[in-house]
Each structure stands twice: as C-alpha cells, then as structure tokens.
Structure 1
Amino acid sequence: MSKGNKRYLPSKDCLSCGLPFSWRKKWVRDWDSVKYCSDRCRQNKPKVRSHVREF
C-alpha cells in the first residue's frame, strides 16, 4: 500500500458526531474498541440515561 492512499483503510462512524473516520496506525492494537474520531468527540460523548422510567 502506498503512503497517502487512505481509500483502502477501514473506516467507522463516530458515535458522537456521526462523521466517518479512517483507521490510524496508533489504533493498530485496539481498532475494535475505538468509538470516537477525536478527543473532543470522546469528551462530548452522548449521555446515556440508565434510570429512565416509563409510566
């Protein structure tokens, strides 16, 4: 694979902003657990309400 050809890299959609992002070399060991495209999105991740009651 030639340097700079990102077309063939795996990609995912960010859980926070919804934009697609591509695999990076620093994620080689934990690509399966990467959920957010940046630190900013990771800090602004959607809040999950665990104590929601329906009546």
Structure 2
Amino acid sequence: MTKMTKKSNLPTKLCLCCAKPFAWRKKWQRDWETVRYCSERCRRAAKTDDRSKP
C-alpha cells in the first residue's frame, strides 16, 4: 500500500479567474501543467469574459 501524502505537501496554483489558491487533485494528475482554473464556474466565467471583450 502506498503512503498517503498530506494535503499541505501538494502543489498549488492560483486560479486565473478568482485569484484563489487551489491544490492538486488526483483527476488532474495527467494534465496538471494545463490546469488554469480552480473550478468549472471559474472556467466558464473566464470563457464568457473573453467573448465579451472586443
């Protein structure tokens, strides 16, 4: 059995939309380098903001 990693030892990033820190999740392990937003809500909000700019 593998040893569990404490949450404080996980890598973190800042969300580009809300600027809050978020931690690595197992579902992001293959594409952690490309993850930019902390949630679907922030991803959608950023997408709509991009469309409203001229």
Using the size of structure 2 for normalisation, the TM-score is 0.78
Higher gyration radius (CA): 1
Indicate the RMSD between aligned Cα atoms, in angstroms: 1.8
Unaligned 5+ runs, structure 1: none
Residues 1-55 of structure 1: matches in 2 within 5 Å? Answer: 1-2=3-4, 5-45=6-46, 46-47=49-50, 49=53
Aligned residue pairs total: 49
Letter of the 1:39 partner, please give it.
E
Q: Between the two proteins, what is the percent identity of the paired residues?
A: 49
TM-score by length of 1: 0.77
Greater helix share, 1 or 2? Answer: 2
SS at match of 1:12: strand
